[in-house]
Amino acid sequence: MSKELKVLIGKEKIERRVKELAGEIKSSFPPPFTVISLLKGAFVFTSDLVRNLEGVEVDFMRLKSYRGKRRGETAITLEPELPVAGRKILLVDDIFDTGESLEFAVRWLRERGAEEVRTCVLLDKEVEKGTSLKPDFVGFKVPDYFVVGYGLDLDEKFRELPYVAYLKE
Ligand code: IMP
Ligand code: MG
């Protein structure tokens, strides 16, 4: 069965919200701080977000999740290059689904002595969470659809789309 892409959040709407979000960040968590972007999904969002912030450092980390029947196991496959200890960090992800990856990354950064960790996600999926963590900054709430575009993929496809879409059967 072929699947059709349906736009959920258009390009201009994302552009406006990212600017607004940067304003919210600047007023409640003013730079300087280090943005840590979770690869690969957050790379597009991060690049737009940081161009609306001044006085930040940018680094990346990558997680791998093994999702079985039980609670998923998460591991780091790429550590940030900058030392985490003593840094103020804004952790950026594409989508907050069960929340397990973000929770893992926050814990990892705190264990390594980060002075402060705030979290920012473009999308927050309306599903039951596996954590009590709430992202500090959220771009959009989305229904429980599998979404792609603006960095998010389905088997490595669709990351380059300038909008967020879902797949309809
Ligand atoms: P969580 O640990 O369940 O919150 O999963 C978060 C990660 O799963 C995100 O960083 C994405 O990489 C991936 N993910 C979750 N939902 C979607 C989706 O709808 N589309 C694409 N990737 C998703
Ligand atoms: Mg991801």
Point out the ligand 1 atom lying closest to the alpha carbon of residue 97: 4
- Residue 122's H or E segment, with its range, is strand 116-125
Q: Quick one: pLDDT at residue 6?
A: 97
Tell me the C-alpha to C-alpha distance, in Å, between residue 81 and each of 4, 59, 60, 84, 124.
39, 7, 8, 9, 27
pLDDT tens digits, one per residue of 4-51: 999 999 999 999 999 999 999 999 999 999 999 999 999 999 999 999
Predicted pLDDT of residue 23: 98
Q: For ligand 1, which residues put their CB under 6 angstroms from it?
A: 41, 93-102, 146-148, 152
CATH architecture designation of domain 4-59+80-168: 3-Layer(aba) Sandwich (3.40)
Q: At a CB cut-off of 8 Å and minimum separation 6, what does 97 contact?
A: 125, 127
97 is catalytic: yes
- The string of pLDDT tens digits covering residues 80-134 is 999 999 999 999 999 999 999 999 999 999 999 999 999 999 999 999 998 999 9
- Predicted local confidence at residue 67, as pLDDT: 64
Provide the residue ranges of all domains of the chain, joining segments of one domain with +. 4-59+80-168
